[in-house]
A and B are shown apart, each in its own frame.
Chain A
Amino acid sequence: MRNVALLLALVSAPASAQNLDLLHQVIDIDLTAAPVTTVHLVIDLEILGPSTTLDLLIPPGTISELLVDGVVTAARPHPQGPSLAIQVPFASEKQAGERVRVEMTSSGAISCRRAGSTECFRTAMLTVFPPAAPAAAWHALNLWWSDAFTAEVQVRVPAGQKVITGQGEPRSVTALADGTERWVFDASTAVVGLELVAGAFEKIDAPNAARASAYYLPGAVDTAKLAQAVDLAASLLPVYDRLFGAAPIDRVRLIAVPRGLPFGGIGLLGTVLFGDYVFGELDYLLVQGTAHELAHTWWGNMTGAGDSAEAGFFNESFAEYSAWRGLGELQGPAVRTGGVRMNAVWYMYRRPEDRDIAILDPAIEDSDLFVWVTYHKASVALRALETRTGTAAFDRVLKRMVQLGVSNVTSDRFITALSEESGRDLSAEAGGWLRGVGFPHLTASAEIIGSEVVVRVSNDGAQTMLLPVRLTDASGRTTEGTVDIAAGTVEARIAFTGARPVLVELDPTWTAPREIIPEVVGDVTFDGEVDALDLIEVALRHGGDLATERRKDGGYDPLYDIDGDRRIGGADLAAISLR
Chain B
Amino acid sequence: MRRLTCLIAIATACGTEAPPMITPPMPSATPSPSATPMPMAGFTPDAHADGMPAIWIEAAIIDGRVHAELRGAHLGPVFGLAIDLAFDPTHLALATATSTLAPLGVAEAAYVETRVDGRVRFGGARRGPAAGALIIDEPTTLARYALTASRDAETRLEVSQVVLRRPDGSFVTATRAGGALRSVQ
Interface on A for B, CB 8 Å cutoff?
472-476, 500, 502-503, 529-533, 535-536, 538-543, 570, 573-574, 576-579
CB distance from A576 to the nearest CB of B (A): 6
A543-B110 in contact (CB<8A): no
* B131 contact set on A, CB distance < 8 A: 542
Known contacts A472-B171, A474-B163; 19 additional CB pairs below 8 A are: A473-B171, A532-B111, A532-B113, A532-B121, A533-B123, A535-B111, A535-B124, A536-B80, A536-B81, A536-B82, A536-B163, A539-B80, A539-B126, A540-B129, A543-B130, A573-B127, A576-B112, A578-B5, A579-B3
Q: Does B28 have its Cβ within 8 Å of any Cβ on chain A?
A: no
Contact pick for B112, options A532, A540, A541, CB 8 Å: A532
The answer, yes or no, to whether B169 is at the interface (CB within 8 Å) is: yes
Q: Give me 9 A-to-B residue pairs in the complex whose CB atoms sit less than 8 angstroms apart, sorted by A's number.
A: A476-B170, A535-B111, A536-B79, A540-B169, A542-B128, A542-B131, A570-B110, A578-B5, A578-B6
Known: A502-B161, A533-B163. A539 touches B122 (CB 8 A): no
| Chain A hits for B114, CB < 8 A | 529-532
What residues of chain A lie closer than 8 Å to B111, measured between beta carbons? 532, 535, 577
> Residues of A contacting B170 with CB < 8 Å?
476
Provide the bound-state CA to CA distance between A531 and B172, in Å: 19
- One of A472, A500, A539, A578 near B125 (C-beta < 8 A): A539
> Once bound together, how far apart are the Cα atoms of A308 and B85, in whole Å?
64
Which one of B6, B80, B173 lies within 8 Å of A535 (CB-CB)? B80
Count A-B contacts at CB 8 Å: 104
B169 and chain A: residue at smallest CB distance: A540
Instruction: Decide if B173 touches A476 in the complex (CB within 8 Å).
Output: yes
Q: Does B162 contact A (CB under 8 A)?
A: yes
- Tell me if B1 counts as interface (CB < 8 A to partner A): yes
Per the bound structure, the CA–CA distance linking A344 and B167 in Å amounts to 25
Known pairs A536-B123, A539-B80, A573-B127; A475 contacts B173 (CB<8 A): yes
A577: shortest Cβ distance to chain B, in Å?
4
Q: Which residue of A lies closest to B114 (CB)?
A: A531
* Bound-state Cα–Cα, A557 to B128, Å: 14
Tell me, rounded to whole Å, the shortest Cβ–Cβ distance linking A545 to chain B: 12
Given contacts A540-B169, A579-B112, whether A529 and B125 have CB atoms under 8 Å apart is no
CB pair A539 B127 closer than 8 Å: yes
In angstroms, Cα B1 to Cα A529, docked, is 9
Q: Are B129 and A533 in contact (CB under 8 A)?
A: no
Residue of A nearest to B161 (CB): A474
Q: Is the CB of B79 within 8 A of A535?
A: no
Residues in A whose Cβ lies below 8 Å from that of B112: 530-532, 535, 576-577, 579
CB-CB < 8 A to B182: which residues of A?
A: none
Whether, in the assembled complex, B165 has its beta carbon less than 8 Å from a beta carbon of chain A, the answer is: yes
- Most chain B CB within a 10 A radius of its CB, from A472, A535, A538, A578: A535
Contacts of A473 in B (CB 8 A): 171
User: Are the C-beta atoms of B127 and A542 separated by less than 8 Å?
Assistant: yes
The 4 closest A-B pairs by CB, nearest first: A532-B123, A542-B128, A476-B171, A536-B80
A576, B81: Cα distance in complex, Å: 15
Name the interface residues of B106-138: CB closer than 8 Å to any CB of A. 110-114, 121-131
Bound complex: CA of A538 vs CA of B82, how far in Å?
Answer: 14
A577 to B121, CA, bound (A): 12
Contact at B173–A474, with CB atoms within 8 Å? yes
How close is B102's CB to chain A, nearest CB, in angstroms? 11
Q: State whether A539 touches B79 (Cβ < 8 A).
A: yes
Q: Are A577 and B110 in contact (CB under 8 A)?
A: yes
What chain A residues lie within 8 Å of B162 (beta carbons)?
A: 474
Q: Assess the A540–B173 pair: CB atoms within 8 A.
A: no
